[in-house]
Structure 1
Amino acid sequence: MPELPEMETYRTLLTEKMAGKTITKVEINREKSVNTTVDFFIHHVTGSRVDFISRRAKHLLFHLDNNYVLLLHLMLGGWMYWGTPADRPSRNFQVILSFGEYQLYFIGLRLGYLHLIPSAEVEERFAALGPEPLSPTFTAQALMERFKGKRGKLKMKLVDQSWISGIGNCYSDEICFHAGLLPDKAIQSLTNTQMEQLSRSIPTVLQEAIRWGGYMEYPLFKEDRLTGGYNDQCKVYDREGEPCFRCSQFIQKEEISSRKTFFCTHCQE
């Protein structure tokens, strides 16, 4: 599932392609991918201009000039492609937004969605989300306050969107490795020093992943050389049986609450 770095990479690249451009045509091939009737969606989106694109947690928001927002959540298996009919991937497309000769193809939206909502309702949709881990207000003290008096395993709190938004399975493991903490460590056992290290590791790992373009498998457009660059930078995720970059011990894999989890028992405690 795309996480914060993947969606931030999409935001940056799509801003270069789409910002200020008018949507000339809309095609919806799967009605369940949108939240309105097809006619309503097409009527309110066609002819509108994309003023800017923002991100909140794992969501992208396409802000239109008619006081509506296209709210995207790719969920598991969703991705996008920007291109022309000549170079588009051989896939099924749930939604297509056209910008003259170029199209933005939404692919794999079986669990994901592209919702059209009034701009005034955006904050309400995100009311249950936890803080952004790249926000200046995300500090060690703020993290301690959120975890104060709580119980549970560290990994499960990191992926809980109501506690910290934007982190999923991959980056929770990478963050734990960077912080030197086992993913199944009880949060109530964390010392102040470990909590401070965790508060530094979270933005460090996420920013590095953004710099490398996240771990998405597919390029966003034909000449895209950024998207997916973090695949080769992962220290533990999906590296079961491979040597640890720090100590050369083998990376292990277990399931924590049905989530595959990767770690090094020698470097993490």
Structure 2
Amino acid sequence: MPELPEMETYKRLLNEKIQGKLITNVEINREKSINVAPDLFTQEVKNTSVIAVERRAKHLIFKLNSGKNLVLHLMLGGWMYFGNDEDQPERTKQIILTFPNGKLYFIGLRLGYLHLFDEQQLKEEFAKLGPEPLDQHFTLSTFLEHIKSRRGMLKTTLVNQSFIAGIGNCYSDEICFDAKLLPTRKMSELNEFENTNLFNGVISALNRGINQGGYMDDPFFKGDQLTGCYQTLVYDREGQPCFKCNSKILLEMISSKKTFYCPNCQQ
């Protein structure tokens, strides 16, 4: 499932492609991917312009000049492609938005969605989300205050969207590796030094993911050299040597989630 770095990569690339552009046509091939009737969705979206694309947690928000918003959550297996009829992927497209300079294809939205919200609905949609970890106001002191009441394991706490928004299965493992902490450690057992390492791990792992274009395999457009360049340090590397100490990366199931770590580097 795409996490914060993947959605941040999409956000930046989308703003390069469609910011300020008019949506000239809307094609809906799967009604379950939207939250209103297709006719109403088309009426509200067609002939509006995208002011900007923003991100909140694992969601993207297409801000329309009408005051409405398109909220995207790709969930498991969802992705996007910007191109034309000649280079489009040979996959089923649930939704297609047409712009003067190309088409935006929404693919694999079996669980994901593109919902139409006004500002109040948008506020309600995100009401329970935790803080953005890369926001300038999310400082070490803010983080230390934020975690005071937390008692669960690192793994389950980091993927809790009401704790910190945008972190999922992959980057929770990468964060723990950067912080040199086992994902099974209890939040309440960490000392001040370890909590500082955890905060730094959050920042370093997420920024590394963004700078390397995340781990999504599929390119966003023809010739895309950024998307999917992220090399995980522990996630999905069971049995492979740790890049730092050469120990074998282990896999453990924590609350039904695959969790990868180095038994030597992480304590």
Tell me the TM-score normalised to structure 1 length: 0.97
Code of the residue aligned with 1:226 in structure 2: it is L
SS in 1 for 2:88: coil
Match of 1:59 in 2: 59
Match of 2:87 in 1: 87
Give the 5 Å matches for 1:113-152. 113-152=113-152
CA contact (8 A) 1:173 1:262 kept: yes
Distance 1:182 1:139 in 2: 23
CA contact (8 A) 1:173 1:263 kept: yes
Match of 2:25 in 1: 25
Match of 2:210 in 1: 210
Render the CA deviation track for 1:13-41: whole Å, top value 9, x for unaligned: 11010001100100111101000000000
Give the 5 Å matches for 1:161-180. 161-180=161-180
CA contact (8 A) 2:79 2:107 kept: yes
Gaps of at least 5 residues in structure 1 are none
Render the CA deviation track for 1:62-106: whole Å, top value 9, x for unaligned: 001001010000011100000001110010111000113611000
Render the CA deviation track for 1:25-58: whole Å, top value 9, x for unaligned: 0011110100000000000100000111110110
Pick the aligned partner of 1:254 from 247, 252, 255.
252
Match of 1:239 in 2: 237
SS in 2 for 1:229: coil
Match of 1:154 in 2: 154
Match of 2:220 in 1: 220
CA contact (8 A) 1:140 1:195 kept: no
SS in 1 for 2:150: coil
Identity of aligned residues (%): 55
Give the 5 Å matches for 1:92-111. 92-100=92-100, 102-111=102-111
Distance 1:158 1:66 in 2: 36
CA contact (8 A) 2:73 2:112 kept: yes
Give the 5 Å matches for 1:33-48. 33-48=33-48
Query: 4+ runs of 1 displaced by more than 3 Å?
Result: none
CA contact (8 A) 2:154 2:187 kept: yes
Code of the residue aligned with 1:241 in structure 2: it is G
CA contact (8 A) 2:83 2:102 kept: yes
SS in 2 for 1:95: strand
Distance 1:101 1:174 in 2: 37
